[in-house]
Amino acid sequence: MMSERIVVKIGSSSLTSEEGGLNRERIQYFAEELASLHKNGSGVMLVTSGAVAAGFRQIGYASKPKIVHEKQAAAAVGQALLMQAYQEAFSRFGIVAAQILLTRADFSNRRRIQNALMTIEELLRQRIIPIINENDTVATDELVLKFGDNDNLSALVAAMTKAAKLVIITDMDGLYTEDPRKNPQAVKIERVDQISEDIMKLAGGAGSSVGTGGMRSKIEAARIAMRGGVHAFIGKVQQEGDLALAVEGNGRGTYFDTKLHSLPMKKQWLGFHSMPQGRITVDDGAVSALLEGGKSLLPAGVTDIQGEFHPGDVVEVANRQGETLGRGVVNYAAWQIQAVAGLTTEEVRRRVDVARIEVIHRDEWITLK
């Protein structure tokens, strides 16, 4: 366990009261648990929610706001209160905490996310705990840019920093076959090594009135973590020593194991963060070449295209049934592919002038299926 990197995600409902406002006792408890991991040599990163819940009472709202600009105002007040509470709590253990605010747009820009990673790396080197939250105040499109109560954000941070483990703290002690609050016969699932559709169906809607993330968004986060080579845990951390137990493998929750290795930053960006500008449909031969043969996509395998894209853009690739296979950086403009789809390499060279003959080179491709 020594010196490995651990990302811990704490949701709003664990940090605030149902009426709103910060629960200082809970913040002190989590700071103590994290300080214990830090003392053992781990590189600890905290992904926290709670800014809106912490701030809406201070503004004077009677309940947690629903309108975007009111939420953003509450977050602006609450984020400062949240950081102040964490910094005070960590200072009792001689630990310095740093604030990092991120949005979806930061992740979709390769240079910006590389800069964020370098900042986090330096903080960890200096034995500072980065406290990461979504930048609610400037998120411009709630539906597109929200991370789902920071569950996905925590998984993206864990994959980006090549963490060994991701601990997502919730009020349920893991994933069950049914909702144990409704059916006492529900059975807890101790370990998951592949997230199937059946596993996704077990996750219901959102939990508390304070948070926004249900079990579904937590399992989606575990899926992202696993794809990035990170082991994940979803469960309860309530009593002294619970966080250490969760990290060691004896926690009260469900473990999501992976045999995959950590992805290079470029592949992570392609798979998780990039915004596809179009879609290319390919034939069965190209499907086999991409998924099994480790080959590049050639014009001969293309059957259809959608969208207006240019060389260097990211596009999705799908099979004839419409299932997404993966993403890649395209070497052609949309009109050029339209002109040469299904043709041999020799014929393509005669018709269009492109820097590389491959539509998508295998080094610029990530499989998502």
Say whether 213 counts as a known binding-site residue. Answer: yes
Which amino acid would we find at residue 248?
Answer: E
pLDDT in tens, the chain (369 residues): 447 999 999 998 899 887 778 999 999 999 999 999 999 999 999 999 999 989 999 999 988 888 888 999 999 999 999 999 999 999 999 999 999 999 888 888 888 999 999 999 999 999 999 999 998 777 655 534 456 679 999 999 999 999 999 999 998 899 998 878 888 888 999 999 988 888 888 875 444 433 334 788 899 999 999 989 999 999 999 999 999 999 999 999 999 999 888 888 888 888 888 889 999 999 999 999 999 999 999 999 999 999 999 999 999 999 999 999 999 999 999 999 999 999 999 999 999 888 899 999 999 999 987
Give yes or no: residues 331 and 249 share one domain.
no
Residue 212 in marked binding region: yes
Task: Give the span between the Cα atoms of 220 and 151, in whole angstroms.
Answer: 8
Is 215 assigned a ligand-binding role in the annotation?
A: yes
Domain co-membership, 189 together with 263 = yes
Is 66 annotated for ligand binding? no
3-state DSSP assignment of residue 18: coil
**Residues 89, 186 within the same domain:** yes
217 carries a ligand binding annotation: yes
Same-domain check for residues 207 and 326:
no
Q: What's the domain count of the chain?
A: 2
Q: Does 284 belong to an annotated binding site?
A: no
Looking at the structure, tell me whether residues 304 and 233 fall in a common domain. no
Residues 6+ apart with CB under 8 A from 54: 15, 16, 20, 21, 22, 77, 78, 79, 81, 82, 85
CA distance 243 to 252: 10
Last residue of a domain, one of 228, 243, 267: 267
CA–CA distance, 360 with 335 (Å, rounded to integer): 15
User: Are 258 and 337 in the same domain?
Assistant: no
- For the record, the structure tokens of 321 come out as 């049934």
> Has 165 been labeled as part of a binding site?
no
Question: Is 151 a known ligand-binding residue?
Answer: no
pTM: 0.84
- Residue 279 pairs in a beta bridge with 306, 316
CATH code where residue 175 lies: 3.40.1160.10
Whether residues 65 and 186 fall in one domain: yes
Q: Are residues 235 and 215 in the same domain?
A: yes
- Among 250, 267, 284, the domain boundary falls at 267
187 shares its domain with 110: yes
Range(s) of the domain holding residue 243: 5-267
171 appears as a binding residue in the annotation: yes
Residue 104 in marked binding region: no
Cα–Cα distance, 212 to 205 (Å, whole number): 9
- Assess whether 330 and 241 both reside in one domain: no
- Same domain? For 135 and 179 the reply is yes
Q: Which residue has the tokens 């090594």?
A: 193
Strand pairing report for 252-256 and 231-236 = antiparallel
CATH of the domain at 353: 2.30.130.10
In this structure, are 56 and 132 located in the same domain?
yes
55 is in an annotated binding site: no
Is 3 flagged in the annotation as binding? Answer: no
**221 is written with which tokens?**
């986060």
> In degrees rounded to 5, what are phi and psi of residue 81?
-65, -40
Determine contact, residues 34/43, Cβ cutoff 8 Å: no
303 is in an annotated binding site: no
Q: Which pair of tokens denotes residue 185?
A: 């016969």
Per-residue DSSP letter, 177:
S
Q: Are strands 165-169 and 5-10 parallel, antiparallel or unpaired?
A: parallel
CA 160 to chain CA centroid, nearest Å: 9
